[in-house]
Amino acid sequence: MAQREQLYQTAGQVDMSRLPRHIAIIMDGNGRWAKKRGLPRTAGHKVGAETFRKVAKYCKRLGVPYLTVYAFSTENWRRPKEEVDTIMGLLERYLHEAIDSMARENIKLCFLGDLSAIPAPLRALIDKAEAISRELDSPYQANICLNYGGRDEILHAARAIAEAGESFTEENLQRHLYSAAIPDPDLLIRPGGEQRISNFLLWQAAYSEFYFCDTLWPDFDEAALDKAIIAYQSRDRRFGGVK
């Protein structure tokens, strides 16, 4: 109850008429969260996957149409095999559940990244979830970045332009990004105490507002998102212009 009151209070400070249209999150701190509790790093990822579910639902409740999270980078393959397998297993489990509940939840799912390296059973689930999403008439969409790297994405788009013989314009490059149909993020959040972009949405974050906090991702909750949105709403966005 106390927790609910706290959520209500912070939600009350969010200006619902000036919500970000797109929030992107680097889900950092799972390993440290687990270590602090004497648990294996993979335990942190398990709770982190639940946090993603909670935050996606809350974005919908608030009325934020797009949420994008960094689940696995092009560099994360360097982690121990057990950890990589756990993350892929969590995504598989999440997708099985999402395929059953997507129509009820009414949140579309989309995957951004080079999916050619993703194990076949997981890819089949991704295809199924994306096919269901295309049939959903919902303004809410959660994007999961998987085997994603900002540099890789820009290179991939540049190669596509060259192969199509198109001219190198911002518009053409944008059309070939994994995120082509998605507006750029207004707010980019990195919990977990680090203050870097780690190859995430390099092109799309050109004018995003950045918000860093020390909360480890498994502890991130509705009140933490409210705080990030309230901070975002205090910023003066000029997009390179003047007032």
Q: Which helix (H) or strand (E) holds 26?
A: strand 22-26
Residue 90: both structure tokens together: 């969590």
CB of 107: closest distance to ligand FPP in angstroms?
12
Torsion-angle region of 171 (φ positive above 0: left; ψ -120 to 50: alpha; else: beta): alpha
Q: Which 127-156 residues touch ligand FPP, going by CB under 6 A?
A: 144
| Position among 91, 109, 177, 187 found at the interface with ligand FPP (CB under 6 A) | 91
Residue type, 221: D
Which residue, 36 or 237, is less far from ligand FPP as judged by CB? Answer: 36
Nearest-10 Cα torsion for 232, 234, 237, 238: -160
Q: Which is nearer to ligand FPP, 87 or 107 (CB)?
A: 87
Closer of 45 and 108 to ligand FPP (Cβ): 45
Contact between 27 and 217 (Cβ < 8 Å): yes
DSSP H stretches of helix in the chain: 2-12, 30-36, 41-62, 81-105, 120-135, 150-164, 170-175, 222-233
- Taking the complex as a whole, how short is the minimal distance between the CB of residue 44 and ligand FPP, in angstroms? 6
Please confirm, yes or no, whether 28 is among the known catalytic residues: yes
Pick the stretch among 5-13, 86-94, 121-129, 182-190 that binds ligand FPP (CB under 6 A). 86-94
Residue whose Cβ sits closest to ligand FPP: 31
Of residues 55 and 228, the one with the C-beta less far from ligand FPP: 55
Site for ligand FPP in 36-65 (CB under 6 A): 41, 45, 48-49, 52
Q: Which of 15, 28, 199, 221 is catalytic?
A: 28
* DSSP calls for 229-242: HHHHHTS---TT--
| Interaction of residue 90 with ligand FPP, rule CB under 6 A | yes
Give least dist CB 21 to ligand FPP, A: 21
Mask of contacts with ligand FPP, 60-79, x by CB under 6 A? ---------x-x----x---
Residues contacting residue 165 through CB under 8 Å, at least 6 positions apart: none
Active site residue 100: no
Q: Does 109 bind ligand FPP (CB under 6 A)?
A: no
Answer whether 181's CB lies under 8 Å from 192's CB: no
Residues 221, 182, 208, 11, CA torsion sign: negative
Q: Which of 76, 172, 199, 219 is catalytic?
A: 76
**Minimum distance from CB of 142 to ligand FPP (Å)?**
9
Binding of ligand FPP at residue 198 (CB under 6 A)?
no
Residue 131 backbone dihedrals phi, psi, to 5 degrees: -65, -45
Q: How far is the CB of 169 from ligand FPP (least distance, A)?
A: 33
Query: Which residues carry out catalysis?
Result: 28, 76
